[in-house]
Amino acid sequence: MNTAQLEARQVSKIFGVLPVLRCIDLRVNRGEGALIVGRNGSGKSTLMRILAGLSRPSSGQALLFGEPAHSLGPQQRCRISLVSHRSFLYPRLTARENLEFYARLYRVTDYQYVVEKLLDRVGLGSFADEPVFAFSRGMEQRLTIARSMMTEPEVLVMDEPFAALDAEGIDIAAELVRDALQRGCAVVMTAHDPHQLRHLAFISYSLENGRLVMAHFGSDSEGRKPRPAAAG
């Protein structure tokens, strides 16, 4: 079995005339994690959207389970989950209603139990019946992560999942990601600060000038950040 869960082959994306991504190659197998680090505007979000199948590459291929990501059938779409920089939550629905809506859409069996458990897990149990518009940015992000985990996806594409989270929130989220990895989920994630992820064994890449290069900044090799994250 040689097909990776998630694969990018020579993916390029051009917006108008600006090349945002150039010939990106990436493979993530079951139970593996890939971390992509880059500055703001480096094209991380674009890459995430392409990998999740929302957007089409200008050239090259993004594959999920060996099939083109943007034309997956409903069965396959059930197996992926995306955390985007937009929350995908309906502000006027409560936390629980949002999760239940997506759970039913994804045909999660026994969804009430799953939702309840996840809300407790991300520490929103006591806010379950509050509307999302009353949430702080960090609470919204916790809920977003809960939403992405609800379906027990086999591929998890996360764009800046730790943005706006406090230390506790990051720990919770990282734990959820670790559980997903152990389940055999393939995770690809972006971050502007790799140190938030030091306790996750991820293969690290950095996205610079639209190109993906291997990078080393795990817990052992501190400080080899490609560029300061604050720029741009």
Residue 2: partners with Cβ closer than 8 Å, 6 or more residues away? none
Identify which of residues 98 and 196 has a Cβ nearer to other proteins in the complex.
98
CB of 183 to other proteins, least distance (A): 20
- Rounded to whole angstroms, how far apart are CA atoms 82 and 46? 12
Identify which of residues 29 and 87 has a Cβ nearer to other proteins in the complex.
87
For 17, counting Cβ atoms within 10 Å of its Cβ (0-12 exposed, 13-18 middle, 19+ buried), the class is: exposed
Tell me which residues touch other proteins (CB under 8 A): 12, 14-19, 22-23, 49, 52-56, 58-59, 74-75, 77-78, 80, 82, 84, 86-93, 97, 101-102, 104-107, 131, 209
CB of 96 to other proteins, least distance (A): 12
- Rounded to whole angstroms, how far apart are CA atoms 84 and 157? 8
CB of 210 to other proteins, least distance (A): 9
Identify which of residues 107 and 195 has a Cβ nearer to other proteins in the complex.
107
- Rounded to whole angstroms, how far apart are CA atoms 145 and 83? 7
Identify which of residues 22 and 192 has a Cβ nearer to other proteins in the complex.
22
CB of 86 to other proteins, least distance (A): 4
Tell me whether strands 155-158 and 59-64 are parallel, antiparallel or unpaired.
unpaired
Q: Please report where in the chains the tokens 């190659």 appear, as a residue.
A: 25
